[in-house]
Amino acid sequence: MTRTLHPSDGVRSTPIEAIVLTGAEIDQTAGLLSLRERQPFALYGTETTLAYVAENPMFDALAPATVPRQTVALDEPFELAGGIEARLFAVPGKAPLYAEGDAPLIGSETAANVGVELVREGARFVFVPGCADIGPALRERLAKADAFMFDGTLYSDDELIASGTGEKTGLRMGHVSVAGPEGSLARLAGLENRRIYIHINNTNPILISGSAEHRQVVEAGWEIAFDGMEVAL
């Protein structure tokens, strides 16, 4: 699956040819505002996600002629640069915080929160940064990948409340925990492929080398993502 891109010889250029949004939460979209305004790339997302983006005129700085927005249907393959076949699939979650409204739907499987599956030359990678529940179909999809990255926001559901950093549970925020009978460690036990926790909140003790939680996760065969991590398949 190796495809290495380098900045070209242009005065200003980046190796970014496409960005695939898995949702329109701030931490999924605000980075686009640092990529404006003259660097061409394609922006992919579900109709729901791109509608949230379109509701924020600030993103119009990414001019359509330079950054075309491509609506992608769930479960339909689409082609990225370099012969990568991509596919978006719905994952239990929620709408972005700023679009929750008064009675937010939490944990439902909609096009507002998706995972991405990438396939190239037989290698398969799955990326699920936000997930509120792990059912059999998702487990099966993850099991078939050579490697996957998965929502590691919180270790325990009441972590923010216990640490005094917030008032919401993990599930209220659309994130299944690492620990517990319905957590990702338990629900994804028995897999043998590369499993990598991402989107890890700074309250999560798996970030602390030497902590019991860190040891537990590593002994279960998981990796903990870090800035600049590269995954070769």
Q: Which residues form the interface with a copy of itself (CB under 8 A)?
A: 11-12, 26, 29-30, 33-34, 36-38, 55-61, 96-99, 163-166
C-alpha to C-alpha distance for 185 and 160, rounded to whole angstroms: 19
* Spatial distance between the Cα atoms of 178 and 165, rounded to a whole number of angstroms: 18
- What is the closest distance, in whole angstroms, from the C-beta atom of residue 61 to a copy of itself in the complex? 5
Give Cβ neighbours of residue 228 (< 8 Å, ≥ 6 apart). none
Q: Which is nearer to a copy of itself, 6 or 12 (CB)?
A: 12
CB 41 → a copy of itself: shortest distance, Å? Answer: 17
End-to-end CA distance of the chain: 6
Closer CB to a copy of itself, 22 or 29, in the complex: 29
Nearer to a copy of itself, 4 or 34 (CB): 34
CB of 149 to a copy of itself, least distance (A): 22
Structure token digits, residue 174 = 């659309």
Contact 125/1 with Cβ under 8 angstroms? yes
Q: How far is the CB of 17 from a copy of itself (least distance, A)?
A: 20
Cα-based distances in Å from 119 to 79, 126, 158, 202: 10, 9, 36, 31
| Closer residue to a copy of itself, CB minimum distance, 40 or 166 | 166
10 Å CB burial of residue 229 (0-12, 13-18, 19+) is: exposed
The residue among 105 and 162 lying less far from a copy of itself, judged by its C-beta, is 162
Calpha distance 168→182 (Å, rounded): 18
Beta carbon nearer to a copy of itself, 184 or 204: 204
What are the C-alpha distances in Å from 177 to residues 6, 72, 129, 174, 204? 37, 29, 12, 10, 10
CB of 200 to a copy of itself, least distance (A): 16
Smallest separation, CB 25 to a copy of itself (Å): 9
Residue 217 phi, psi (nearest 5): -70, -45
